[in-house]
Structure 1
Amino acid sequence: MLKRLIITVLVLAGVLVAADYAAAAAAESVVSRQLRERLDLADDPNVRINGFPFLTQAVAGEYGSIELTADRLKVGDLQNVQLRANLHDVQAPLSGLLGSGTPGLRVGTAEGAARVGADDINRMLPGIDRLSLGNVDANAIADLITDGADPSLRALDPESVARISGDVPVGGGRTESVVVFAELQVADGAMRVVPRVVRDSSGDELPEPVASIVRQTFALRVDPGGLPFGVVPTTLQVRDGTLEIAGEASDVVIGAAPGTVVG
């Protein structure tokens, strides 16, 4: 008898879990379509509603966290921009998700980011071969200063410094393998790469005429387009071999007509 009861409970639990995941998938599809329209995307973005069980969140119309990803977006000359967003403290009435009520989401805090990969950056820096992006830590900056670099580098946050390497033409038919340590800045919503230190592939200083060519070649300004949900970009960092510009916004309404009250 007890064994049969345990089996029954397990079966019911499995059915409830399956139903919860199915409901979450359906809701993610609805939210994805709303976000596609709001962000004017060519395809539905990937949406993940975090937290379990989903149904208790749906009944309350309150969600702790929703993640959004959209890849391979074309923005101006950029061919492969990645958008990422984390939405926190989301209010979305169940009737809106079911299509019988006012559609839309109200978001307490939205964290948004756009990533531009090395291939896109390379297209904007013609003539450079084997370009790659990497991170820098405080020890690397200290070593540069010890080797004669500008002491003002010590004031930089290591996360706002990139290590960029590549093969660059330096005149006279010559190509030099170089490493550039660049300060990453955000200016008027755009990414700026400002070379600060230039070395050859062995870490030695380059002759100033060559170093000047390299600094000019690697200086870059990239506009990745606006971040989603009115997010104001505040940081630029290297992430997973890409340049990521990110920021956040508060009290955002998504997918509802202007003036509509959501939540």
Structure 2
Amino acid sequence: MTAVVVGGRMKRLIVGLVVLAGVLVGLDFGAAALAESAVSRQMREQIGLPDDPDVRINGFPFVTQALAGRYSSIDVTADRLQVGDLQEVEIVAQLRDVDAPLSEVLGSGPTSLRVAEADGTVRIGADDIERLLGSVDKLRIESLDADALEAAVEDGADPSLADVDPDTVARLVGTTAVLGEDTEVSAIVGLDLAEGLVRIVPRDVRIGGPDAAPLPESVQSSLADRFTVEVDPGSLPLQVTPTELKAVDGVLEISGSTTDLLLGAPATTTG
């Protein structure tokens, strides 16, 4: 009988602990959601976005980070933004080693964040590049590796492509008019980032897929003009200086990093 009573008490204790753990986890996620909302409002003002971005405070449990006022990393994402002639820009930022007092994060007043390091990225999709090109439809952006560049050279491309850093080139594939017929054209293009502008300049153009035969120089020059464009992606988030441009997963990514940021600092006056 005693064993049954003890067993029942132990079972109730275990159930109680499980329920308590669930409540604590729920409270932790709830507090994190409030903090993410506060940071989102601050980031909207800081980056100058039309709407609050998505914010995720990484690390668990949140409460221990909040009590210390220090967060290991915070992810910020905003998409489908209009920047100049671009219609669907995505902005991504990651803040690392962020100091923010709990009273400010969960309060209703302004929030200030001290950020040790920040990465910022602007992503431009194929649809935006297609609109800028004007005469190309169904555009795809493909990344290239060293083997693909070597294969292109073996198929007749400029031998200098074999020595190019794959991160500085991409393949654009789209449909354009050739002799009055819509034809798929493939172009290996150089990706250049200078003074905040993206320049796309063809290095090798083929009618059909990448295995197609090289074109005469006059034909290649005419088609190359259709894949040449200069893009203004706007500013990177958080005044990050752009240092890298490459094709990743079907988009163009412009990224950079910075350190020692103070976001949402109160205005100061001088006498």
Q: Give unmatched runs, 5+ long, in structure 2.
A: 1-8
Deviation string for 1:120-173 (max 9, x for gaps)?
111101111221111111111111122232222233221221110112234x53
CA offsets, 1:31-67, max 9 Å, x none? 0001111111111000000000000000101101100
User: What's the counterpart of residue 208 of structure 1?
Assistant: 217
**Aligned positions of 1:55-74 closer than 5 A:** 55-74=63-82
Q: Deviation at 1:7?
A: 1.1
Q: Does 1:183 align with 2:190?
A: yes
User: How many pairs are equivalent?
Assistant: 259
Please tell me the residue identity of whatever aligns with 2:192: Q
CA contact (8 A) 2:176 2:185 kept: yes
- What residue is the counterpart of 1:35 in the other structure? 43
The correspondence for 1:143, drawn from 142, 151, 156, is: 151
Identity in percent: 53
CA distance, structure 1, for counterparts of residue 228 and residue 268 of structure 2:
44
Q: Is the aligned partner of 1:249 residue 2:258?
A: yes
| 1:145-184 matches, cutoff 5 A | 145-170=153-178, 172-184=179-191
Which structure has the bigger radius of gyration?
Answer: 2
Give yes or no for contact 2:156–2:213 (8 Å, CA) kept in 1: no
C-alpha separation in 2, matches of 1:198 and 1:259? 56
- Normalized against structure 2, the TM-score is what? 0.91
How far apart, in 2, do the equivalents of 1:38 and 1:58 lie?
Answer: 22
**Counterpart secondary structure, 1:192:** strand
2:53 to 42, 45, 58: 45
What SS class does the counterpart of residue 107 from structure 1 fall into?
Answer: strand
The answer to whether 1:221 aligns with 2:230 is yes
Equivalent pair of 2:34/2:106 in contact (CA under 8 Å): no
Cα distance in 2 for partners of 1:207, 1:127 equals 21
> Counterpart of 1:6 in 2: which secondary structure?
helix
Aligned-residue CA RMSD (Å): 1.7
| Structure 1 equivalent of residue 4 of structure 2 | none
- Separation of aligned partners in 1, 2:130 and 2:266: 40
Unaligned residue ranges in structure 1 (runs of 5+): none
Output the amino acid matched with 1:208: E
CA contact (8 A) 1:95 1:102 kept: no
State the shift of 1:175 in Å. 4.1
The alignment partner of 2:215 has SS state of coil
Letter in 2 for 1:223: D
Q: Tell me, what secondary structure is at the counterpart of 1:42? A: coil
